[in-house]
């Protein structure tokens, strides 16, 4: 059962991309993110893996979550792209596709005869999305990773304390680079409605990073002063911090003069409210060194739950400091933010679905991660291959089945 058929069988969520077929030649995170988002919105996504399955399936440590997170809702076929027979199947898949996604090193698919120029000759409507390290320019041939882009583009500099660059706590550039790829694909499909022609879309890690740090570039342009790393920055608000409590920390932001009045009333800070010169935001920022010790001392006398109970429903921004493992039991996510997933080892869990609502419905449906090559027979039959040819391809090792 395809991801679309599975979702329709469950009668869950919107499927605005129903009828769109995506062929995916990807690995790791950036490329698979594109396919996962498209699959989550109802597209049929066929993932082409090497014989034996994508090595991403076998990563340890921080990489062990890559495959289950970004490959749900897809079908799997394993092809030997070094063989003429496997390449022929790949070309037939591309000829049947609306969208092709790839994120291998520059030129890797070109050398196999799977370039946009070659494939679009047979399929002029093809939208071909390449997820790369860099857009065209002097760095184009470099190998890039999420961390490389964060370090080069200033994100790591802005995340860590001064002199200690620190990568963000998730594959944020891989994922947002994949999201930009999806935006480009959807725009290209819309243009195809008018022209009948597809096109090549390229998204990149480095330029995505630059977009993310663009606010700091703009700050420099406006003020003439370089932005300080986030741990050392001068905040736009006096109270916009993580506070230690009697047990677990909590973030609180007081981002307007009205909220300052409310904050002082909630926490009995009558002496601070009595200072009329502190009733404007910029004045509070200038007095931050005097205000913060008093507020920190107060918060340290209370538990996190006590503080949250005071803040709930007030309009003041606040956040208990959560951990990823806490999210499985989060009551907000229980309302549709997680979907049931059966991992390829048979274990059942719940993982984040596409964070959208469309027409009052959330995307998402129970899914089972495909084993390598699990959908090979169904995919080849849909291409019109007779049983004899399918058996020959499997016997020759050009196609592998689960």
DSSP 308-328: HHHHTTSS--EEE---GGGGG
The verdict on 316 and 273 lying in the same domain is yes
Tokens for 235, please give them: 């905040």
Q: How far apart are CA 21 and CA 42, in angstroms?
A: 10
Is the pLDDT assigned to residue 81 strictly greater than 50?
Answer: yes
Tokens for 139, please give them: 């760095």
State which residues form the domain around 69.
3-212+336-400
The verdict on 246 and 108 lying in the same domain is no
Indicate the average pLDDT of the chain. 95
Does the residue 158 lie in any domain? yes
Per-residue pLDDT averaged across 360-374, rounded? 93
SS3 6: helix
Over residues 61-76, the pLDDT tens digits come to 999 999 999 999 999 9
Q: How far apart are CA 120 and CA 126, in angstroms?
A: 6
Last residue of a domain, one of 283, 298, 323: 323
Does the residue 226 lie in any domain? no
According to the model, what pLDDT value does residue 10 have? 53
- The pLDDT-based confidence of 342 (bands split at 50, 70, 90) is very high
The residue to which tokens 């997933």 are assigned: 341
According to the model, what pLDDT value does residue 9 have? 52
The verdict on 166 and 272 lying in the same domain is no
Q: How far apart are CA 191 and CA 188, in angstroms?
A: 5
Per-residue pLDDT averaged across 277-302, rounded? 97
Beta bridge partners of 351: 339
Does the residue 223 lie in any domain? no
Does the residue 113 lie in any domain? yes
Q: How far apart are CA 26 and CA 35, in angstroms?
A: 9
The verdict on 373 and 295 lying in the same domain is no
Tokens for 251, please give them: 């973030």
The verdict on 147 and 279 lying in the same domain is no
Per-residue pLDDT averaged across 50-65, rounded? 96
Does the residue 222 lie in any domain? no
According to the model, what pLDDT value does residue 233 have? 85
Tokens for 341, please give them: 């997933």
Is the pLDDT assigned to residue 2 strictly greater than 70?
Answer: no
Q: How far apart are CA 284 and CA 11, in angstroms?
A: 53
The verdict on 56 and 190 lying in the same domain is yes
Tokens for 112, please give them: 């196999």
Q: How far apart are CA 116 and CA 111, in angstroms?
A: 12
DSSP 159: H
Over residues 165-189, the pLDDT tens digits come to 999 999 999 999 999 999 999 999 9
Does the residue 250 lie in any domain? yes
According to the model, what pLDDT value does residue 3 have? 43
Which CATH number belongs to the domain containing residue 95 in this structure?
A: 3.40.50.10540
For the chain, what is the domain count? 2
DSSP 358: B
Which CATH number belongs to the domain containing residue 319 in this structure?
A: 3.30.1540.10
Is the pLDDT assigned to residue 313 strictly greater than 80?
Answer: yes
According to the model, what pLDDT value does residue 4 have? 42
Tokens for 316, please give them: 């003041």
The verdict on 138 and 260 lying in the same domain is no
CA end-to-end span of the chain: 15
Q: How far apart are CA 65 and CA 50, in angstroms?
A: 20
Over residues 102-116, the pLDDT tens digits come to 999 999 999 999 999
Q: Who contacts 322 (Cβ-Cβ below 8 Å, separation ≥6)? A: 330
The verdict on 120 and 175 lying in the same domain is yes
Strands 21-25 and 44-49: parallel
Per-residue pLDDT averaged across 219-230, rounded? 95
**CA nearest to 28, candidates 63, 3, 61:** 63
Helix (H) or strand (E) holding 77: strand 75-79
The verdict on 118 and 144 lying in the same domain is yes
Do 23 and 102 touch, CB atoms closer than 8 A?
A: no
- The pLDDT-based confidence of 234 (bands split at 50, 70, 90) is confident
- The pLDDT-based confidence of 202 (bands split at 50, 70, 90) is very high
According to the model, what pLDDT value does residue 26 have? 98
The residue to which tokens 């109970």 are assigned: 309
Over residues 121-171, the pLDDT tens digits come to 999 999 999 999 999 999 999 999 999 999 999 999 999 999 999 999 999
The verdict on 52 and 159 lying in the same domain is yes
Per-residue pLDDT averaged across 291-311, rounded? 98
**CA nearest to 351, candidates 9, 72, 28:** 72
Q: How far apart are CA 318 and CA 338, in angstroms?
A: 23
Is the pLDDT assigned to residue 243 strictly greater than 60?
Answer: yes
Over residues 82-97, the pLDDT tens digits come to 999 999 999 999 999 9
Q: How far apart are CA 334 and CA 337, in angstroms?
A: 6
């Amino acid at each position: 059962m395809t991801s679309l058929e599975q979702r329709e069988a469950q009668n869950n969520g919107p499927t605005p991309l129903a009828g769109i077929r995506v062929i995916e030649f990807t690995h790791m995170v950036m490329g698979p993110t594109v396919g996962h988002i498209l699959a989550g919105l109802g597209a049929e996504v066929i993932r082409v893996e090497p014989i034996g399955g994508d090595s991403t399936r076998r990563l340890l440590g921080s990489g062990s979550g890559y495959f289950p997170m970004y490959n749900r809702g897809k079908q799997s076929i394993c092809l030997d792209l070094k063989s003429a027979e496997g390449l022929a199947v790949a070309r037939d898949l591309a000829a049947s596709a609306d969208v092709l996604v790839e994120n291998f090193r520059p030129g890797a698919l070109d050398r196999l005869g799977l370039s946009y120029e070659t494939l679009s000759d047979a399929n002029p409507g093809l939208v071909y999305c390449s997820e790369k390290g860099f857009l065209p320019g002097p760095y184009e041939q470099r190998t890039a990773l999420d961390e490389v882009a964060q370090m080069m583009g200033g994100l790591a500099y802005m995340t860590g304390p001064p002199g200690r660059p620190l990568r963000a706590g998730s594959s944020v550039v891989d994922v947002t680079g994949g999201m930009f790829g999806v935006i480009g694909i959807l725009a290209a499909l819309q243009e195809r409605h008018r022209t009948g022609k597809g096109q090549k879309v390229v998204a990149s890690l480095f330029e995505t990073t630059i977009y993310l740090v663009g606010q700091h570039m703009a700050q420099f342009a406006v003020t003439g002063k370089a932005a300080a790393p986030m741990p050392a920055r001068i905040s736009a608000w006096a109270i916009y911090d993580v506070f230690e409590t009697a047990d677990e920390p909590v973030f609180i932001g007081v981002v307007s003069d009205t909220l300052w009045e409310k904050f002082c009333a909630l926490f009995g800070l009558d002496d601070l409210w009595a200072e009329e010169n502190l009733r404007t935001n910029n004045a509070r920022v200038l007095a931050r060194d005097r205000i913060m010790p008093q507020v920190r001392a107060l918060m340290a006398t209370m538990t996190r739950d006590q503080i949250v109970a005071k803040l709930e429903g007030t309009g003041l921004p606040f956040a208990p400091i959560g951990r990823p493992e806490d999210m499985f039991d989060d009551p907000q996510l229980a309302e549709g933010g997680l979907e049931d997933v059966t991992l390829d080892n048979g274990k059942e869990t719940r993982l984040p679905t596409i964070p959208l609502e469309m027409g009052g419905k959330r995307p998402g449906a129970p899914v089972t991660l495909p084993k390598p090559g699990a959908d090979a027979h169904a995919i080849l039959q849909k291409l019109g291959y007779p049983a004899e040819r399918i058996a020959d391809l499997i016997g020759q090792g050009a196609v592998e089945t689960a």
